[in-house]
Structure 1
Amino acid sequence: MENEKPQPGIQVISRAIAILRVLSDTPQSLGSIANATQLPRSTVQRIVDALALESLVEAGSKGVRLGWGLAEIANRNKTNIVETARPVLETLFARTHETVDISTALGKEVSFLDRIISDQELRVVSFPDKPRPLHAKANGKALLACLSNAEIERLYSDQPIALTEHTLTDLPTLLAELEKVRKSGFAYDLEEHALGVCAIGTGLIAPDGKAYAFSVAMPASRYPSVKQEVEIALQEARDMLSGLLERL
């Protein structure tokens, strides 16, 4: 009996899945992906371009990483979190007039599900080419705090990367901060992801076991004066979304 060769369409799908698995932890260059998958670089380039069109991967200055489209697909067969959270996000924005978002974790990075940009003249906007590691962002820390320390240690078998001089790159220090997040309900990014930018986040676990986080980002110059008000607004948003999810 002759060996059956994979059909072209099936082979492309298999290769695309292999590339997505390589990207599950950290961004990679095309060369690194080619080496890990043992595929020609030209083939990797074509597949990555096709995946990027569907937002399944994103190409940035640090390499190719998983895209927000994966999180969107993962959530379609569960609670429609984006639709449910949108009015809550709008209320959070109305309370703060800062940049607000809801996100989930995708590997070791933050994956944004929805966002409203501040309407103030001095405001925080997106950094499309900048990595979004969980440990360097307020929403990311809020998501990490939903995990056990053992899960976090497995996730960070390598040392956390530094994005600014303020980024926490020592795992014991990060774990100690996450314990404070669990107790207070709030996580903070004090210029750890980008200089001049601060953020406050809070996380919640949905009835289906999935973790989500709200965050509010503002210029560092405005952080001290709005911190308390933002924390109150975030707590209300978390409680409101938790109540909505429980009724679904």
Structure 2
Amino acid sequence: MRRALLAEGVGTALLLATVVGSGVMGESLAGGNVALALLANAAATAGALYVLITVLGPVSGAHFNPVVTLVMRLRGDIGTRTALAYIAVQCVAAVAGVLLAHAMFDLAWIQPGVRARAGGAQWLSEGVATFGLLLTILLGARHRARALPALVAAWIFAAYWFTASTSFANPAVTLARALTRTFSGIRPDDVPAFVLAQLGGALLALAVVRGIAPATASSPHEVP
């Protein structure tokens, strides 16, 4: 359990450091071209996800995301105590990852977000992004388990571009990104609605997967 929690913490922190750090770097080098900055942000995030899931998946399942952990608990893959410990570590590590990114770019460590991300289109986008992520994980684990790191990375890269919210799809990520005023930030006031949309998308994905493939199958997201 200690190994699994350490893996979740390290993975989540590095993921957030990538999201925020690549946003800072992309924006500084893009010369005002927002599309280029978003491309750099999406590519770096997808690349980091592929690596982190590949190397840490065998240890903890590489959730890095409270809604992934919640769905795994609802499926019976992990117990309640493990799920709560995972979620706590993910949230703390996500904040640590944002602080790490700020430190690497010599920015103020704590800077509450100011980027407005509110409204029906944003909330729908978060629901769709999270729905697709959980669909990818649950069906990918069943049908193409070895390809799961690439599948998740590909989905997130795509969702950065086709959703109005740029695909947070993760409550811990959303919470932590409320602590940055950089390219990746979000206003703290906008966090609750994002998290609710993410929960809705995740639960809908679980229901759809149960309808598509109801039989029990082992998952690489089970904790060893």
TM-score over 0.5 (shorter chain): no
More helix per residue: 1 or 2? 2
Larger radius of gyration: 1
Structure possessing the higher relative contact order (Cα contacts under 8 Å, 6 or more residues apart): 2
TM-score (norm 1): 0.29
